[in-house]
Amino acid sequence: MRKMTTFAVLFLFPFNIFCLENYEKLLEDARKSWTDGRPQDAIEAYKYIIYVSTGPGDISAVTRELAVLLNESAQNALAKIYIEKAQVAAKDDPWLEFEKGWALLSLKKYTEAKASFENVPTMTADPDLIYNSRFMQAMTEMELAGPLKAIENFQTVYQKYPYLLSASSYMIARCYDEIKKRSHAINFLKETLQYDETGIQALITLARTYEDVDYYIPAWQAYYTLSELDPGNKIFEEKKNKFSKYLKGNPDNLLYWTRLGWPLHAEPLKIKGVNKIKVGLFTDGKGERASLTRFFFITNSDFEIIDSKLGKTYAGKKNSQYEVAYVEKNRIFEIKDNSASKIYTTRQNFLIKPAFENGVLLIKSPEIKVSVKGVDRSDREISNELAVKVSTEGMKLSNLTYIEHILPSAVSAINAPKENQEFLKALAVIVRTRLMKYKNYPFFTDYDICDSKACVEFKGLQYESANALKAAEATGTEMLYKGDTLAEPSWHASCGGETRRGADDGSTKPKRADPFSLNKWFMSAPSQKLYCLPEDSTLFSSVIWMQMLDPYWIEERINSEYGAGKIKNIQVLARDDFGEVESLLIKGSANEITIEDKTQISRILSGGTMRSMVFNIRPLMKGGSPQYFLLRGIGTGDLRDFCLAGAHSMAKNLGYKYEMILKHYLPDLAVKDSSRPAPRKKK
C-alpha cells in the first residue's frame, strides 16, 4: 500500500483534531523559510496554513504575515484577495486595512486605496500606524487629486510626526516640482538633507532641480558631491564636467574644504609625545594616499629640508609661506619661498622637519587631480615631520608624529557632542586603543594609519577642542584590553536600541522573527527611554529612518556591473541573527541577481550611503512597475561596539562615569593604564 503524504493526512482529518501542536509547527516552518531566504516558499506555507485554519484569530494573525510578504514581493492582487478573506472575520484589524490600502494603491485602484488608508485611523489609536497611513493616503492623493492636495496631506505628517520628517519633506518637494514651483521644491529638498544628510535620492533630485532652473554653480556642487559619493555613476561625472565650464577660479574654493590663512597653533605643542605613529595624509575611502601636484606650507618654528640622498639641503624660517610643486614637464619637484625664489629642487624623497621638537606645520591648498575621488582636500595642521614621497604621479604625504598629538583632534573629528567630559573620556580611551592597534599592526606598507574614515579620521590638529584635549589628558595612557591583548574597538553614531555586542539601550526589537513583527518594528517610533534618542526631534533619522528611492538610479548602479535590465522588484532574502541584511534579490527583466556582500548592497541601493544594514525594502508599484522603493531602517553605522549617542546620553542624563559607560558597551574588555605599548608586530 502506498504511504500517505502529510498533506493527504491533513485533508483526511479535521484541522482542530490534527491539533494545535502541528499548527505551531507549520507556522514555525513558514517563518523558517522566510528567515532562510526563501520568501516564495514562506508564502506558499502561509497560504496552506490559512487553508487549514479553523479559527478567525488564526486567519487574521497569519494573514498579516502573508500580506506583508505578498506586498514586499509585489504580488499585490493576491495580497488583496487574502486580506479581504481574513477581513470577513477580522474587519476591524487596522494592520490588515493598511496592507490592503498598499495593495490597492499598487494596483492603481486609487479610490479604494484612499478609502482604506482613511479607515485605518478609525480602527486604532496607534500614532505610528495612523501617520504611516496618512503618509500613504497622501501618496494616493497624488494620483487622485494631484500634487496640491497631496501637499496638504504630507504637511500633516511633516508637522506632527517627526519620524517621517525627512520622507514627508522629500515628497512635498516632489509635489512642488510637479507643479513647477521649483524654488519651493529646492527649499524642501534642502530641509530633507538637513533632516537626513545620507539621503542620496534627495541630493539627486536637488541636483536635477538646480539644473532645470539653470542654477549652474549649485548644480555643479551637487553633481560633484554625487560623483564623490557614487564614483561609478557616469551620469554624475558627465553632469559635473558639463557645469564645470561655468566655474571661475579654483573649483576647490566652491566646495566644502576647510581653508586656513595661518596656523592656529602659534607655538610648538606642549603635549609630550610617547608613541610614534606614521599617518598617511590625504587618503581616500580605502585609505590609499592621493598624489598631490602642489601644496603650500607654513611652520610655527624654523625648519629643515632633508633630502633622502643628500641630507640637509635647506634651513627655512617660521611664519613664512612656501610652495611645493611638481613640474610634470621636467619631472622635478620644486620648493619656492614667499618671494617665488626656488630654494630646493629634487627628484628624491624628502622631509620637512621643524627645528624645534613638536613644531607645527600647516599644509595649505593641496591640489589633487579632479579625477581622484573621496579625498578630503582641506588644509591640515600637523606636528613634527612631513615626509614627501615623489613619483611621476606627484607627491604622496605622510606625517611622522605621536599618537598623543593626534588623539584630541581624532576625538574632536568624530561627529558627536563635545561638551560632556565623561563621554569624551570614554571616547578618548577607545580612540587611543584603536590608534595603538594600528601602530602595532599597520594596515599599509609606507604608513601605519590613514587619515580618512577608513581608519581613524584625522582632519588636522586645528580640529582639536579644549574639552577633547582635557579628556585625553585625564585618561593618560589608558587603553582597552581583552586579557593581555590590546583590543580593537569601533564606534557608530546610533545603535537604535541594541548593539551587536548585546548592549540594550532601550530596544523595542521584536523577540520573535516573523514578517509582520519586523515590518511593524520598522514602522514604529522608538521608545522614549532609548539612550540614543536625539534631543532634537528633527534628527530622529539617526535612530529610525525611511528613504524613498527611485528605481532608475538603482538600475544605473546594478546594470553597470550585473546587467539585470529593468528592475521588477528587490527583496531581502536573508538576515543574520541580529537582523542585518545579508543578501538581496534583485529581479530584473534580463536577469535575477543575488547580492551577498554588504558593501555592494549599500552601493547598489544608495551609492554606499546606507545608514545601517538593519532595514527592510518594499516596492510601491504603479501597475506592473515599481514607482518607488521604500527603505525603512534602524540605527546608523555598523552597530557593533560603542554607541556614540547612547554613551553621551548615559553620561549627560544618567550621570554614568566613563568606566561604567565602557563596561556597558564593551563588557568583555578591561581598561588598563599602561605606559608601555605592546611590541610592534610586522605585517
Instruction: Give the chain's largest Cα–Cα span.
Output: 104
Q: Rounded to whole angstroms, how far apart are CA atoms 609 and 600?
A: 11
Three-state SS for 397-429 is EEEEEEHHHHHHHHHHHCCCCCCCHHHHHHHHH
Count of helices and strands (H, E) across the chain: 23, 24
Number of Cβ atoms within 10 Å of the Cβ of 631: 22
DSSP 507-557: ----SS--HHHHHHHHTSPPPTT-TT--SSGGGGGGTEEEEEE-HHHHHHH
- Distances, alpha carbon 395 to alpha carbons 110, 262, 314, 331, in Å: 61, 23, 19, 11
In angstroms, how far is CA 318 from the centroid of its own chain? 42
In angstroms, how far is CA 192 from the centroid of its own chain? 16
Residues 450 and 532 in one domain: no
Structural domain range at position 332 = 276-486
What's the structural domain count of the chain?
Answer: 3
Of 185, 183, 120, 113, whose CA–CA distance to 147 is shortest? 185
Q: Rounded to whole angstroms, how far apart are CA atoms 275 and 518?
A: 47
The single-letter DSSP state of residue 561 is T
Look up residue 15 and give its three cell numbers. Answer: 484541522
**Domain finish residue from 468, 486, 504:** 486
Structural domain contains residue 386: yes
Residues 464 and 524 in one domain: no
- Distances, alpha carbon 430 to alpha carbons 21, 195, 270, 425, 665, in Å: 50, 29, 23, 9, 11
Please give the pLDDT value at position 513.
85
pTM for the predicted model, two decimal places: 0.92
Three-state SS for 575-595 is ECCCCCEEEEEEEECCCEEEE
Residues 330 and 424 in one domain: yes
CATH code at 190?
1.25.40.10
Please give the pLDDT value at position 254.
79
DSSP 23-90: HHHHHHHHHHHHHTT-HHHHHHHHHHHHHH--SHHHHHHHHHHHHHHHHHTT-HHHHHHHHHHHHTT-
Please give the pLDDT value at position 475.
97
Q: At 466, give phi and psi (nearest 5°).
A: -60, -35
- Distances, alpha carbon 155 to alpha carbons 110, 164, 454, 525, in Å: 20, 11, 39, 19
The single-letter DSSP state of residue 290 is P
Residues 478 and 519 in one domain: no
**Domain finish residue from 193, 222, 245:** 245
Q: Rounded to whole angstroms, how far apart are CA atoms 580 and 638?
A: 10
Query: Judging by DSSP bridges, how do beta strands 625-634 and 544-549 pair with one another?
Result: antiparallel
Burial 514-532 (b: 16+ CB within 10 A, else e): bbbbbbbbbbbbbeeebbb
Of 309, 307, 281, whose CA–CA distance to 366 is shortest? 281
Q: Rounded to whole angstroms, how far apart are CA atoms 388 and 447?
A: 12
SS3 646: helix
CB proximity list for 636: less than 8 A, separation 6 or greater: 198, 492, 493, 494, 496, 542, 543, 545, 611, 612
Place of cell 500500500: 1
> In this structure, is the dihedral angle defined by the CA atoms of residues 530, 534, 536 and 542, taken in order, positive or negative?
negative
Spans of the chain below 50 pLDDT: 1-18, 677, 679, 682-683
Q: Rounded to whole angstroms, how far apart are CA atoms 97 and 137?
A: 12
Q: Rounded to whole angstroms, how far apart are CA atoms 671 and 368?
A: 41
Structural domain contains residue 98: yes
Q: Rounded to whole angstroms, how far apart are CA atoms 170 and 177?
A: 11
Please give the pLDDT value at position 8.
39
Residues 37 and 125 in one domain: yes
Helix (H) or strand (E) holding 465: none
Helix (H) or strand (E) holding 350: strand 350-354
Residues 525 and 616 in one domain: yes
The amino acid at 429 = V
Residues 143 and 35 in one domain: yes
Structural domain contains residue 683: no
Residues 241 and 311 in one domain: no
Cβ–Cβ < 8 Å for 268, 360: yes
Residues 404 and 541 in one domain: no
Structural domain contains residue 411: yes
Cβ–Cβ < 8 Å for 157, 150: no
Please give the pLDDT value at position 232.
83
Place of cell 554653480: 217
CB proximity list for 611: less than 8 A, separation 6 or greater: 198, 541, 542, 545, 633, 635, 636, 637
> Residue 655: which region, alpha, beta or left (left: phi > 0; alpha: psi -120 to 50)?
left
**Domain finish residue from 449, 467, 486:** 486
Structural domain contains residue 337: yes
Residues 305 and 183 in one domain: no
Structural domain contains residue 7: no
Look up residue 507 and give its three cell numbers. Answer: 530596544
Please give the pLDDT value at position 299.
97
Please give the pLDDT value at position 6.
39
Structural domain contains residue 158: yes
Helix (H) or strand (E) holding 316: strand 311-316
Query: Judging by DSSP bridges, how do beta strands 642-643 and 478-482 pair with one another?
Result: unpaired
DSSP 72-97: HTT-HHHHHHHHHHHHTT-TT-HHHH
Of 363, 351, 371, whose CA–CA distance to 459 is shortest? 363
Residues 86 and 174 in one domain: yes
The single-letter DSSP state of residue 162 is G
Residues 318 and 460 in one domain: yes
Q: Rounded to whole angstroms, how far apart are CA atoms 159 and 169?
A: 10
Look up residue 395 and give its three cell numbers. Answer: 607627491
The amino acid at 326 = Y
Please give the pLDDT value at position 683.
46
Of 583, 590, 533, whose CA–CA distance to 564 is shortest? 590
Please give the pLDDT value at position 19.
55
Structural domain contains residue 652: no
Q: Rounded to whole angstroms, how far apart are CA atoms 618 and 548?
A: 10
